[in-house]
Amino acid sequence: MLNSNTSRRALLGSAIAGTGALALTPLLPAWARSGTHGLASKDLSILSGEDLALTIADTRFMLDGREGHSVTANGVLPAPLIRLKEGQNFRMRVTNHLGEDTSIHWHGLLVPFHMDGVPGVSFPGIRPGQTFTYEFPIRQSGTYWYHSHSGLQEQLGHYGPIVIDPAGMQPNPADREHVIVLSDYSFIHPHILYKRLKQEGGFFNRDKQSLSSEDRIPERMNGMFADMRMDPTDIADIGASAYTYLMNGHSPDENWTGIVRPGERVRLRLINASAMSIFNFRIPGLPLEVVSVDGQDVKPVETDEFQIAPAETYDMIVRIPDERPYTIVAESIDRGAMARGTLAPRVGMAGEVPPLRKRPTLKPIDMGMGGGHGAGQHAGHAMPEAQASRPKSGGGMDHSMRDASLVDFPLTPGVDMVSPMPVDRTGYPGLGLEDVGHRVLNYRDLEAPADNADTRPPERLLELHLTGNMERFMWGFDGKKLSENPDPIRLARDERVRVKLVNDTMMTHPIHLHGHFFEIVNGKGARQPKKHTITVQPGGTASFDLTADEPGDWAFHCHLLLHMHAGMMRVVTVRPLDAGPADRHMDHGDRGDHGDHRDHGNAGQDDHSHHSMGEGQ
């Protein structure tokens, strides 16, 4: 039975060895508990220093009177906050107490590729009972996070925040700072979630039969959606019918509260550690001054709301004008539910919780049909190169949305549509945010505070298509899944390349490149903003410029966990390597030996025996 998203209690309890009984003790680490005074507090159990340790284990807990299962680091959820200093050496010993392999990926950190933590790409993984030591210098500052890259452990709670202080002065200083980690939790084991989606792509879309008269889709559009067996309300693969949205491990009713004082400048370090959930973030009554994205400083820009996808981080400054509580709202992209918290001078205060807004529906532009036909005020901001490389079809548009003349790869069963007229949508705020009546941030608003180190023009253009079959829940690049062993994306060391991503699906995809930062092509010239993850809007394009200056083998994938699990992942290889013992090159044809990043296209044949914990709940 699917759980609802109504009342959720704090995450409590753990299994007592040898008895099977439940002890009601908090799983929350000190930094995530309600009433925290922020990261400057001296009583927080933050991991800091050069020699640290984590233990990964299965943990049972009680949530709203029900027993659940999580994979925790050091027995807490979210995992411990790691605070480091730019320039220090970092050594972390990770011990695996699970009955299956595990790993840790240091999301957004610049590391030697064999320390990146991706089984089957950069190392074999950490076997049960084994301890693996990660060690590398800290070469940056900012807000980042860490998580498992093994199986679906990330969905089960294997994630935590990282804060790295700069070697010098902190740009945009604040009087206080709080970390806010957004996540999604389900009592349904993630392998069962995946199997349901393989059986029916819209399995968790409970709103598909509830269109009001004002939301009715035009008959012409209905025909196109029907041809693709796609529903215009299918905005998120999994929503509130299966997920509870958490803020620092707290349900909406638990109301995580961060202490603030009137007159303070407060830095909020926001991390979307969700497996599958995109959020629209706002604090009604407080302007948000965005000062950093994905750990990289940007020229401060003020807004009232922004969309944050899994893998992304945003730092913002808020100014507290008075002693009243302010509600933190992270509304799911399909507006089925929200994560919620409060900034207030005292625990127990709660501001007004705004009602969920009208849910969005897909429009022609989300099907890659250009900037017209109801695309909204942001559709006309196409970049000059948006359609420069687009082949022209000789006839009218293929009604099935699978016109093979538009692409240079085979239309396999994993491709149920090709965007006929995709435009650059980096100026688009996100589904449902076109006309909310206040300022909404988009990628065009972001600008680096100074010229980037490498401003060379790209030497070549690499175009990749994000492809999928919604009904069969198949996802890939250029129509291929990772299990089909596509050739690595080969880059020469220090090569300057422009990567253009074309979204041939009606889903929003956050695409993450390991080991590098790239500059989003957004019209800012030498000051294009740096990121490690770029959200590509439905039916649109987004481009980034990359200097391939980190040698090694790097994962490149959609950060919607079940999309990656289904095969939406490639390997980027940068050569030559430096001479030395770190020059280990894994045979990409042997990735399947480790099993962690094979896609699982045939749900009926998936072997979940080593993921059995919690599966029957």
Average pLDDT, integer, range 536-551:
98
More confident: 471 or 160: 160
Q: Model confidence over 429-442: pLDDT tens digits?
A: 999 999 999 999 99
Pairing verdict, β 288-293 and 296-303: antiparallel
Residue 29 domain flag: yes
Mean pLDDT of the chain: 85
pLDDT at 25 over 50: no
How many structural domains comprise the chain? Answer: 2
pLDDT at 224 over 80: no
pLDDT for the residue numbered 204 = 84
Q: Model confidence over 107-127: pLDDT tens digits?
A: 999 999 999 999 999 999 999
Pairing verdict, β 569-575 and 552-558: antiparallel
Average pLDDT, integer, range 74-102:
98
Q: Domain boundary residue among 166, 197, 228?
A: 166
Residue 566 domain flag: yes
Residue 310 domain flag: no
pLDDT for the residue numbered 603 = 39
Average pLDDT, integer, range 155-170:
97
Domain range for 487: 363-386+405-578
Q: Model confidence over 37-47: pLDDT tens digits?
A: 998 766 567 99
pLDDT for the residue numbered 261 = 98
Residue 84 domain flag: yes
Q: Cα-flanking dihedrals φ and ψ of residue 381, to 5°?
A: -90, 50
Residue 474 domain flag: yes
At 549, which CATH number?
2.60.40.420
Q: Model confidence over 366-411: pLDDT tens digits?
A: 888 776 433 334 443 444 443 444 443 333 434 456 566 677 767 7
Alpha carbon distance 592, 436 (integer Å) = 46
Q: What is the pTM of this model?
A: 0.87
Residue 122 domain flag: yes
Residue 483 domain flag: yes
Average pLDDT, integer, range 572-582:
75
3-state secondary structure 215-278: HCCCHHHHHHHHHCCCCCCCCCCCCCCCCEEEECCECCCCCEEEECCCCCEEEEEEEECCCCCC
Residue 63 domain flag: yes
Q: Domain boundary residue among 132, 166, 200?
A: 166
DSSP character at residue 237: S
Residues β-bridged to residue 162: 82, 144
Q: How far is CA 119 from the centre of its chain?
A: 19
pLDDT at 511 over 70: yes
Q: Model confidence over 32-80: pLDDT tens digits?
A: 999 999 987 665 679 999 999 999 999 988 677 778 899 999 999 999 9
pLDDT at 211 over 70: no
pLDDT at 617 over 70: no
Q: Is 532 left (phi over 0), alpha (psi -120 to 50) or beta?
A: alpha
